[in-house]
Each structure stands twice: as C-alpha cells, then as structure tokens.
Amino acid sequence: MTEHIAGDNLIIWEFDYAMTTFYEVDTDKITSLLPKQLSPMEIVPGVSLLNITAFNFPEGGLGHLPNFQELIAAIVVAPDLSKGVPKFAMYVFSLGSTSQEHLDHSADYYKLPSYNKLDYGKINREINEVDFGDSDGSILTMNNCCDTIGDYLGHERYFQAFVSKGDDVYIADLYLQAALFEHQDQGEVGAINNHPFLKGLELFDEEKVPYLQMVLEPGSKGKQFYYKPEKYS
C-alpha cells in the first residue's frame, strides 16, 4: 500500500459507512455537465456511468466535526494516465452534506461543487439502504441489490477526482483503504428523483440500471486519503 502522511496537501478522513452505485446512463444525458477538457468514459458506445456515493463520517473529522452524512454525484471520465491507472476517474458535479462546515471546507480546500446542507441522510446499515433529501424533497434512495454477499476485499483502491471552478479543471488523487464488497448484479437499487442536487440531470427508470456497486463491510471502518487538488488545465 502507498504510504500517506497527513499534511497541508493531504487530509485523511475516516468513515464507518459507504455505499456506491455506478448507473448506466445515456451519454447524451450527461455531456452538458462536463467541462470541455474532460470526456466521459463509455462502457459501450452511447452509454456512460453516473456515480452516486453515500458516506457516514463519525465524529472527529478535521479534528472536531460531529458525525455527518455525505452524498456525492459524479460522472466517470477518461483518466489522467500520467498520474497512474485509477480504478475510476470521476468528475464530481454535486456534493451534499448534513454538515455546513464540511460543505464550506470542501468548497474551499477541494474546490468541490457544494450543493446545500442536506436536511437528512438516513442510513439503514442492516439492509444497506440510504435515503437523502432536503426541503425540496427526497434526492434519492439507494440500496444494495445483491442478495448474496461475498468477500470484502481490503486492498487499497486508487481514484482520480476531477472538479471545475470557472474555466479551470482540477484533479486530485484519492485512495481508499477499506474492506469493500463489489458486485455487478442487476436489480432494484432505489429511486433517483428529479431534484436540484442533480443539476438538471433527469433520468428515466430505464436509465437507472446498476453497472457496479461497492459496500463497506459492516462494523468496519475505512480511510479516505484525499489529496489537495492541482490544476489540470
């Protein structure tokens, strides 16, 4: 595993819940959300991947934050191979959190597109189901669609996180050290609603097909090594 030492360019976040779903969506639906410097990574011609990730961060983030929940919406894009080969490279286009201080910090340090403080992030750990929303209503529900849980693999996973601010694009290295179960079963994974959090992205039911899901091992904790972004273009 890579050695990571916290400093001015790296913050280490500990989490005790994580679930992520990659959805198959028509490329035409998501291209308007991407800056011109980035291109979607299609799994077949005309089909790209939308990622939705839910985290629970226990008390102690940044040394003093209370327990909070986070919701991320991103599009899988072509990676910057000069920095390495990531599991996925993702352009984050919306970030929600139940902590306003976390949102403010994320916008300042990571240049993340903070949406709004969310009213709730409900997590049912027993059945791996989450529900996020605010005063505009429910953003989404998401659940693990796999009936048979296999091995939780604890190896380190490398990701690239792209963001934009104005005309500039930034890239950050992100590593996860966590015991995760991954599967590509297809089934009912919840409902994504037409909500302002998704920045105008409207999906029909047939465009919410799960491509891949990852779930944190119950009772365990993971670490997110999220480096400060650098200018990409």
61 Cβ neighbours under 8 A, 6+ residues apart: 13, 14, 68, 102
Q: What is the pLDDT of residue 150?
A: 83
pLDDT at 32 exceeding the cut of 80: yes
Residue 213's domain comprises 13-231
Residue 37 in any domain: the answer is: yes
Q: Which two tokens stand for residue 233?
A: 């273009």
Look at the chain and report how many structural domains it folds into.
1
pLDDT at 124 exceeding the cut of 80: yes
Pairwise CA distance, residues 102 & 114, whole Å: 9
DSSP 82: G
- Digit-coded pLDDT (tens) for 190-200: 999 999 999 98
How many C-beta neighbours within 10 Å does residue 116 have?
Answer: 16
Determine the distance from the C-alpha atom of residue 185 to the mean position of all C-alpha atoms in its chain, rounded to a whole number.
19
Question: What is the pLDDT averaged over residues 41-45?
Answer: 96
Q: Which two tokens stand for residue 62?
A: 């940044």
Residue 204 in any domain: the answer is: yes
* Percentage of residues in the chain having pLDDT higher than 70: 98
Residue 6 in any domain: the answer is: no
Residue 2 in any domain: the answer is: no
187: CATH: 2.40.400.10
- Digit-coded pLDDT (tens) for 129-170: 999 999 999 999 999 998 888 889 998 999 999 999 999 999
Question: What is the pLDDT averaged over residues 30-38?
Answer: 95
Q: 182 in helix, strand or coil?
A: strand
pLDDT at 57 exceeding the cut of 90: yes
173 Cβ neighbours under 8 A, 6+ residues apart: 83, 84, 158, 159, 160, 161, 227
68 Cβ neighbours under 8 A, 6+ residues apart: 56, 57, 61, 97, 98, 99, 102, 121
Pairwise CA distance, residues 127 & 77, whole Å: 31
Residue 3 in any domain: the answer is: no
Query: Please, which pLDDT band fits residue 205 given cuts at 50, 70 and 90?
Result: low
Residue 223 in any domain: the answer is: yes
Residue 4 in any domain: the answer is: no
Q: What is the pLDDT of residue 156?
A: 95
Q: What is the pLDDT of residue 203?
A: 81
pLDDT at 73 exceeding the cut of 90: yes
Q: What is the pLDDT of residue 96?
A: 97
Q: What is the mean pLDDT of the chain?
A: 94
Residue 18 in any domain: the answer is: yes
